[in-house]
């Protein structure tokens, strides 16, 4: 998955699929290198935050699940993760609560609060660093509220996280 910074840009509907779903998520951008990072030190590795759309070819994901195969073709495709500009943690702190929502064509589809996340950001960083050496420039997408649904060409997606920012894109 490649996080591509856009605002009022376009998300090209990918080939080989007929069902692409949206997931609005908090993005965490890292500025430090580490492996097996202690949860109490995890914030030291955070550069900043943004708003992202984790786009998924849901039909291909279902086929892969059924066949017991990895999901990469469903999640990791060109332009699969439109992202807002990043805001430095030194400017906004480390958001633990705040409204997160996504509207499609002006209608609210996803709505929640960062405080409802099952895993907090420091826990996510600590956990992932047990499997991978994290490095400056790495981006973590954290999870999504209920309401994930299919998109189609012509849809306007507008996501927002209170205190972090917004993203808007047109599905083309």
85: domain CATH number is 3.90.850.10
Other CB atoms within 10 A of residue 7 CB: 14
**Does position 5 have pLDDT exceeding 60, yes or no?**
no
Tell me the helices (H) and strands (E) count for the chain, helix number first: 4, 14
Residue with tokens 């849809």, as numbered in its chain? 155
Domain total of the chain: 1
pLDDT, residue 139, reads: 96
| pLDDT of the residue at 168 | 95
Greater confidence (7 vs 11) lies with: 11
pLDDT of residue 20: 96
How do residues 38-86 score in pLDDT, each as one tens digit?
999 999 999 999 999 999 999 988 999 899 998 888 888 889 999 999 9
Which H helix or E strand runs over 125? helix 121-129
CA neighbor of 125 nearest in space, from 3, 2, 29, 23 = 29
When pLDDT is cut at 50, 70 and 90, the band that residue 3 belongs to is low
Average of pLDDT values for 116-140? 97
Q: Which domain holds residue 104?
A: 3-171
- At residue 1, the pLDDT reads 47
With tokens 């996501």, the residue in question is 159
Contact between 26 and 114 under an 8 Å Cβ cutoff? The reply is yes
Whole-model pTM? 0.92
Mean pLDDT of the chain: 93
Nearest Cα residue to 6 out of 52, 38, 44: 52
């Amino acid at each position: 998955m490649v996080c591509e910074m856009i605002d009022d840009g376009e998300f090209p509907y990918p080939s080989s699929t007929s069902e692409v779903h949206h997931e609005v998520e908090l993005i965490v951008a890292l500025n430090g290198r580490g492996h097996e990072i202690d949860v109490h030190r995890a914030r030291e590795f955070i550069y900043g935050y943004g708003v992202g759309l984790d786009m998924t070819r849901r039909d291909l994901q279902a086929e892969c699940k059924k066949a017991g195969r990895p999901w990469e073709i469903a999640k990791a495709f060109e332009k699969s993760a439109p992202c807002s500009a990043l805001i430095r943690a030194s400017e906004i702190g480390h958001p633990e609560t705040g409204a997160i929502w996504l509207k499609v064509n002006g209608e609210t589809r996803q709505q929640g609060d960062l405080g409802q996340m099952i895993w907090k950001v420091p826990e996510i960083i600590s956990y992932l660093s047990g499997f991978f050496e994290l490095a400056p420039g790495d981006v973590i997408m954290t999870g999504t509220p209920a309401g994930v649904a299919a998109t189609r060409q012509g849809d306007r997606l507008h996501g927002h996280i209170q205190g972090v920012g917004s993203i808007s894109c047109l599905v083309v």
